Structure 1
Amino acid sequence: MENLKGCLQTQATVQGSDVWYWKNEQQEFSVKDVKTTLGQQLDLNSAAYVFSWNNWVTGKCTMFVWRAIEEKIASAVALRNRGINSLDTVCKTCGAAEESAAHILLRCNFAERTWELVTNWLKIPMVNVEGSLTDLLVETSEVQRSKGVRKAIYAVIIQTIWILWKTRNEKVFKGRQGKVQTVIEEIKEASYLGVKLRSKHGSLTRQEWWDFNLMAGFVLDVMTVFFNESFSCH
C-alpha cells in the first residue's frame, strides 16, 4: 500500500476527458499504430505456421502437442511464469537446464536419445533437437516419402512427444525413472494401434510396423479400396 501511495503521489492530473495512450509512446491509441508497432517487430508478410492435425493419433495427443508448441503445458518454467515462485525449475530428469516444454520434449538428454532411436526406426535423418517443436513438426512432415508414409511418420512424432511427457510425469510425481528402450517400445505399440484402428490400413501387421516397412501394405490397402469402390459402383 505504501508503494502504491508513493506511485500515485508522483502522478500529475490534468483537466479533460480520459484518453488511451501507448505505454511507451506519447500518442493517442489507434489500430493503425498497433499494426505499425507490430510490423517493426514481426514480418507481417511471412506465412504463419499452421499446425497440422493427424487423425491417426488421439485428439488428446494432438491437443497436447498443439499446446506444447506455445509453451502452454505445465512445465516447471511455465508454472513459474504463472506465479508459482517457489517451484524448482531444474529438469528432474537430467538436472542440466530449466524445464521448459522444449527442453522436456527435445533437448533433455533422455529426449535426445529417444529421438535418435525413433528416427533410426523411421529411417529418416536425426531431427534437430536444438530447434523448436515447430521446426521438428515441419521438418518431419516434409520428408521425402509417399503421402501415406509421411502421415504415418507425423503420427509417430506426435505420439513420441506425448509419451515423453508421460514419462516426465512418472518421474516428477511417482519417482519412476523411465528407460529409453521401454519408451521406444511404448511409442511403437501406441502408434501402431492408432494407425491400425484409425486409418484405412487395417491389414497392417505389427511386424511391418516394427520394421517400418509400410509400402507393400499401404499399396495393397489402397488397391483393395479402389477395387471395392469400383465393384460397388457397377
Structure 2
Amino acid sequence: MGFGEESYGQFTITQDLGLQYRQRLRYPGLWKQIVGVRTYLNQVGINLDQLIWCKVGTEYMAAFWLDYWIGNQPLYMVFPLLFALEKEKLCSIADRVIWDNTGVNLTWVWNRSVMNNAEELQLQNLTTLISNFNVAAGRDEWIWKLHLSVGFSVADIKNKAAVYNRNITEYIFLWNNSIPKKVGVVSWRAAMERLPTRAALAARNIDVRDTRSTFCGEYEETNEHLLASCQFSQTIWSVIVQWCKVPPLIAFSFKDVLDLHLTVNGSKRRKKVLNAITQVVVWSVWRVWRMRNEVIFNHASPSVVKVVEEIKTMAYLWIKNRMRSSGWSWSDWRSFNFVM
C-alpha cells in the first residue's frame, strides 16, 4: 500500500475515532444540558460542537484533541496521525501543554514513538501552532461563536433551525390589521405568485386555451399584469394615488405596488393607512377579475368608477373601525383630508 493510501485510510479511521471520543466529553455547568440535545439539533443543521469554543485561560480544562480551542478545527481533525498515536485521547490541554515564563512546555504520551516522515511533519506543525498560541488571562471560558459578546441564547438556536433547508423569500409581506384577513390574503398570495391567473394555471398543466388577459386580450394574464400593468388596474391606481394625494405610482413589479406606503413621507399611522388602502385596491381588482365569466359571455365592461367607489367605501368602514378613528367623517375621507 502506498503512502498516500495509508495516510488517507488512517485519516478516515481517526476522524471516526475522534467523533466517538467527543461523545464522552464532559461539558461544564449549563453547557452539559445544551450539548445533551446535540443529536436533535444536528437534524436541523446545527452543529453544537462547532459553535461552542473554549477560550483557554489558566485552567486548561478543555480537551486537548477534541475541543475547539485553537485554529479552526479540533486538533484530532488537523493532525489525525498524531491523534492515532495518542494514548489518552480524552486528555486535557493541561495534560499536554504548560505555558510559563520559560515558554511552552509540551508533554506527549504516545502508544509508540513517532516513526515516519508524515508523523514527524505533523508533530512539527503542531508544536509551531501551540508555540504561537496566546493564553487568555483568567480562567477558561466557554463561548458561543454565533454571538461572542452576548453569549448563548435560545433565540439563536430557533433562528438557525427556522431557516434550515428552506428557501427564504426575498420579499417580506406586511400584514396589516386595519383590514380583514381575507383582504390581506389576496395581496399575500399575489406577492407569492399563488393567484390562479391564466398563466399560473397553464404553468400547472391546466388547459386554459388562451393565457391572454380577460380584460385587454393583449398580454399574458399574470399577477403582475392583472394587478399592476393592465390598463384597467393602471387606471384605478391612477385615481387612487390622486385621491390619497401621493406622487404618481411608478411600478416595475407588483411588489412596488405593495410598497407604495414606503415611498411617501408622513407618520407611521399614515403609512399604515396607505398600505391598508393598497391592499383593499388589490382585493377589489381581484374581485372584478373573478367576475370574468360575465365579461366574457355577457360582454360586460368593468366600471372603473364603480370599483373606485367600492374601494373608498370598504376601506373607510374597515380602517375607521379597526383603527378606532371616530373623528374621521365620510366627507373628510372622500377628500382624504383628516388627521392621521
TM-score, length-scaled by structure 2: 0.48
Q: Deviations over 1:72-117 (max 9, x none)?
A: 0010000101111343111110112010011010110001111000
- Ranges of 4+ aligned residues in structure 1 off by more than 6 Å: none
Residue 192 of structure 1 aligns with which residue?
316
Structure 1: 5+ residue runs without aligned partners? 1-30, 32-45, 219-234
- Aligned equivalent of 1:50: 172
Query: What is the percentage of aligned positions where both structures have the same residue?
Result: 30
Label 1:173 to 1:147 Cα distance change in 2 as closer, same or farther (>3 A): same
Per the alignment, do residues 150 and 86 of structure 1 end up closer, same or farther by CA in structure 2, a change over 3 Å counting? closer
Answering whether residue 181 of structure 2 is matched by residue 59 of structure 1, we say yes
Selected match of 2:246 from 114, 119, 124? 124
User: Which structure has the higher relative contact order (CA within 8 Å, separation 6+)?
Assistant: 1
Q: Which residue of 2 is the match for residue 155 of structure 1?
A: 276
C-alpha distance in 2, partners of 1:209/1:167?
23
Equivalence for 1:69: 191
Aligned partner letter, 1:163:
S
In 2, Cα distance between equivalents of 1:136 and 1:86: 27
Higher strand share: 2
Give the structure with higher Rg (CA). Answer: 2
Corresponding residue of 1:146: 267
Distance in 1 (alpha carbons) for counterparts of 2:328 and 2:200: 40
Between the aligned partners of 1:164 and 1:139, the Cα distance in structure 2 is 17
Partner of 1:168: 289
Q: Are the equivalent residues in 1 in contact too, given 2:173–2:191 (CA < 8 A)?
A: no
| Unaligned residue ranges in structure 2 (runs of 5+) | 1-44, 46-167
Report the counterpart of residue 179 of structure 1 in structure 2.
303
> How many residues are aligned here?
170
RMSD: 1.8
2:328 aligns with: 204
Aligned to 1:133: 254
Query: Which of 88, 93, 100 is equivalent to 2:222?
Result: 100
Aligned partners of 1:142 and 1:150 also within 8 Å = no
Instruction: Give yes or no for contact 2:240–2:308 (8 Å, CA) kept in 1.
Output: yes
TM-score by length of 1: 0.68
More helix by share: 1
Contact 2:179 2:276 in 1 (8 A): yes
Kindly indicate whether the alpha-carbon contact (under 8 Å) linking 2:243 and 2:336 is maintained by their aligned counterparts in 1.
yes
Which residue identity does 1:173 align to in structure 2? N
| Alignment correspondent of 1:23 | none
Cα pair distance change 1:119/1:86, threshold 3 Å: closer
